[in-house]
Amino acid sequence: MFRSAITLFPNSDNLFNSYGELLAKSGKKEESIIMYKKSILLNPENEDSKKSLEILEKN
């Protein structure tokens, strides 16, 4: 579902953040990191993505 939403709204940092969260909870760390980085690229002020990315990269 997130993949479809991202296709429709490719500039939504919130979608990439949410998809990253889902992937992280599913144990897909590398894919999650990619989504968080895309979210930050779209919106450098997205503190949630920054914090989540930092946590994933430490582990």
User: Which pLDDT does position 16 carry in this prediction?
Assistant: 97
Number of folded domains in the chain?
A: 1
In three-state secondary structure terms, 30 is helix
pLDDT level of residue 12 (50, 70, 90 thresholds): very high
Element at 8 (helix H, strand E): helix 2-8
Closest CA to 23 of 15, 35, 14: 35
Domain span at residue 25 reads 2-58
CATH of the domain at 53: 1.25.40.10
Q: What is the mean pLDDT of the chain?
A: 96
pLDDT digits (tens, 9 = 90+) for 17-32: 999 999 999 999 999 9
